[in-house]
Amino acid sequence: MVWVKICGVRDVESARLVAECRPDAIGLNFYPGSPRAVSAEVARSIARGLPAGIEAVGVFVNSAAADVAETVRSCALHRVQFHGDEPPQLLAEFHRLSPPTPIIRAWRFGPQGLRALQDYVARCQTLGVPVAAVLVDAHLPGRYGGTGVALPWDEVRCDYASRSLPPLILAGGLNADNVAAAVTSIEPWGVDVASGVESAPGVKDAELVARFVNGARGTTKKPHT
């Protein structure tokens, strides 16, 4: 069954409503430039309040490895997602500081496709960094995710299938209406959404979240109440 992450949850009440829809993970964005940014204090409260079986994933953009490791420890995060321009050496330093923590590497899909990603993953392997999954998002200059811009699914599917890469998490323009078709078309390991389940920037809509989770899993199950 596809892994589902609802990203950019920024307060405890929203986290509770999202958790009732039973995604596999909730993304906590520590990038100050995002409208979905969350403080360490709030992130800690959210992570501690999640039901069993729902992971807290920290999303970081160009943060120092030591700062990421400290946030993982203090907020009890289950995974980290590097979503900026971090070189393989930074991931290697983080892995040295927090070896049990699975790493998701976000990658923006642009005109050059995924050739550079394949080289990047190979460099990580040389440095002993186990990249658990790659999140492929849309490329928009100067933006680090949460754009709502859709990916060319056919190009992503063909390019990813032709390369030796970690499991794929699909992002970029997904919403409650198209996630089922995306999962059928690309067959990713996981899916990730932020703006596609919001009523306003950073404001999660419980109904859209429930529809997204159900659509990704091919069900019509109602959220828990």
Residue 20 tokens, joined: 């009732």
Judge whether 21 counts as a catalytic residue.
no
Residue 10 near residue 194 (C-beta atoms within 8 A):
no
| Domains detected in the chain | 3-217 (3.20.20.70)
88-97 vs 65-75: helix crossing angle, rounded to 10:
40
pLDDT category of residue 140 using cuts at 50, 70 and 90: low
The DSSP bridge partners found for residue 146 are none
pTM for the model: 0.91
Alpha-carbon span 55 to 208, nearest angstrom: 20
pLDDT computed for residue 137 by the predictor: 87
pLDDT computed for residue 148 by the predictor: 58
For residue 23, give the nearest of 40, 7, 43 by alpha carbon: 7
Q: Does the structure show a pLDDT above 70 at 141? A: no
Q: What is the pLDDT of residues 62-96, one digit of tens each?
A: 999 999 999 999 999 999 999 999 999 999 999 99
How many CA atoms lie less than 13 Å away from 75 in the CB half-sphere?
30
Judge whether 75 counts as a catalytic residue.
no
Q: By CB neighbour count within 10 A (0-12 exposed, 13-18 middle, 19+ buried), where does 26 fall?
A: buried
**DSSP letters spanning 161-209:** HTS--SPEEE-SS--TTTHHHHHHHH--SEEEESGGGEEETTEE-HHHH
Q: What is the pLDDT of residues 4-46, one digit of tens each?
A: 999 999 999 999 999 999 999 999 999 999 999 999 999 999 9
> Of these residues, 24, 75, 137, 205, which one is catalytic?
137
Residue 170 near residue 161 (C-beta atoms within 8 A):
no
Q: What is the pLDDT of residues 169-212, one digit of tens each?
A: 999 889 999 999 999 999 999 999 999 999 998 899 999 999 99
Residue 53 tokens, joined: 């079986």
DSSP state of 99: T
